């Protein structure tokens, strides 16, 4: 399969979608991003990399980071984490408080903000220097030591974290947050502000593509079963209240972020990352979602 030709074709087909979405503006620093950017990177398990457009431009990965922190916690706690967070699609926006009241402070899944806060809370309990640990993990799985937090984004997120603080304090009232809430939200804002490009992100998902094995360090990060279950969660919950539609259209497990990044993979084959900052009504990259649907259609391959 000539992936380079496939993504070059899609790139030209989808560029006219510029202007149909809207850059995230509830975090002021994200609103500063030039909306007319678009990159695609494909990474195969054989070691081949294909890229087009702005695939080398760094951006804040935002909620894509939730996959990495969940992997870090799962490898230590195993199924213990599922006592504190559910595994069902929420059907609500990523920052909703609605379900927490009815469900006694147990978030519906680890990819909505409430669930991700619980996961990061457990990570803080596991690591003395959690922010350093997150960076070290991400650098290891993408084979690039030049990965850092975007301090401007992190500060902007922290200054506008009222909703996340409310979620964390509310869950703490149910006993589901163990650590200091201010510390928790600071770590969470930093993990969301990790700056990566499409090439780094596609490579960072190879350990899931290879069923838990990090090809860069030849380390089994997750068991085969854990990797399978993380993929299942991404398929059903990775795109907020658009997850079902993405599974229907693209047929891959993946994760999005309000920075405009989307990453997905086909187990045993490849991972693909797309970045375009304009979001659709669900908070997912409009061009990214369109790109991934066309990609699996054009290569005639998905998980189904």
CATH number reported for the structural domain that contains residue 93 in this entry: 3.40.710.10
pTM of the model: 0.96
Alpha helices in 174-304 (DSSP H): 181-192, 198-204, 206-209, 224-237, 243-249, 286-299
Answer whether residue 102 is part of any domain.
yes
Determine the length of the chain: 304
Answer whether residue 257 is part of any domain.
yes
Mean pLDDT, to the nearest integer, of 211-235?
97
Mean pLDDT, to the nearest integer, of 229-243?
95
Answer whether residue 161 is part of any domain.
yes
Answer whether residue 304 is part of any domain.
no
Mean pLDDT, to the nearest integer, of 274-299?
97
User: From the CB of residue 84, how many other CB atoms can be counted at a distance below 10 Å?
Assistant: 22
> Of all residues in the chain, what percent carry a pLDDT higher than 90?
94
Answer whether residue 188 is part of any domain.
yes
List pLDDT tens digits, range 258-279.
Answer: 999 999 999 999 999 999 999 9
Count how many domains the chain has: 1
Q: How many helices (H) and strands (E) does the chain have?
A: 14, 12
Tokens of 12: 């030209």
Tokens of 242: 């658009």
Answer whether residue 246 is part of any domain.
yes
3-state helix, strand, coil in the chain (%, to 5): 50, 15, 35
Which residue from 294, 288, 270, 231 is spatially nearest to 62, judged by alpha carbons?
A: 288
| Mean pLDDT over the full length of the chain | 96
Domain span including residue 112 = 3-299
Q: Which residues are catalytic?
A: 63, 66, 188, 240, 258
């Amino acid at each position: 399969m000539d992936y380079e030709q496939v993504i070059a074709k899609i790139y030209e087909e989808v560029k006219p979608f510029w202007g149909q979405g809207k850059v995230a503006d509830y975090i002021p620093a994200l609103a500063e991003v030039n909306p007319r950017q678009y990159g695609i990177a494909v990474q195969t398990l054989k070691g081949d990399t294909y890229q087009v457009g702005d695939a080398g431009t760094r951006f804040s990965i935002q909620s894509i980071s939730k996959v990495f922190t969940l992997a870090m916690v799962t490898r230590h706690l195993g199924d213990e984490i599922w006592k504190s967070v559910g595994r069902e699609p929420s059907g609500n926006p990523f920052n909703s408080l609605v379900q927490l009241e009815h469900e006694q402070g147990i978030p519906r899944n680890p990819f909505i903000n409430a669930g991700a806060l619980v996961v990061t809370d457990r990570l803080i309990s596991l690591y003395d220097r959690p922010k350093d640990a997150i960076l070290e993990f991400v650098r290891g799985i993408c084979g690039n030591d030049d990965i850092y937090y975007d301090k401007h984004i992190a500060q902007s997120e922290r200054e506008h974290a009222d909703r996340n603080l409310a979620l964390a304090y509310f869950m703490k009232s149910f006993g589901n947050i163990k650590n200091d809430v201010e510390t928790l939200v600071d770590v969470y804002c930093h993990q969301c502000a990790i700056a990566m490009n499409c090439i780094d992100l596609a490579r960072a998902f190879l350990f899931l593509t290879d069923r838990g094995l990090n090809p860069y360090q030849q380390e089994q990060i997750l068991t085969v079963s854990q990797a399978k279950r993380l993929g299942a969660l991404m398929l059903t919950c990775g795109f907020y209240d658009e997850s079902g539609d993405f599974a229907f259209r693209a047929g891959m497990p993946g994760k999005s972020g309000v920075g405009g990044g989307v990453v997905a993979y086909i187990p045993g084959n490849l991972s693909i990352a797309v970045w375009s900052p304009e979001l659709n009504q669900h908070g997912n990259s409009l061009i990214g979602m369109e790109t991934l649907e066309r990609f699996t259609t054009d290569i005639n391959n998905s998980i189904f």
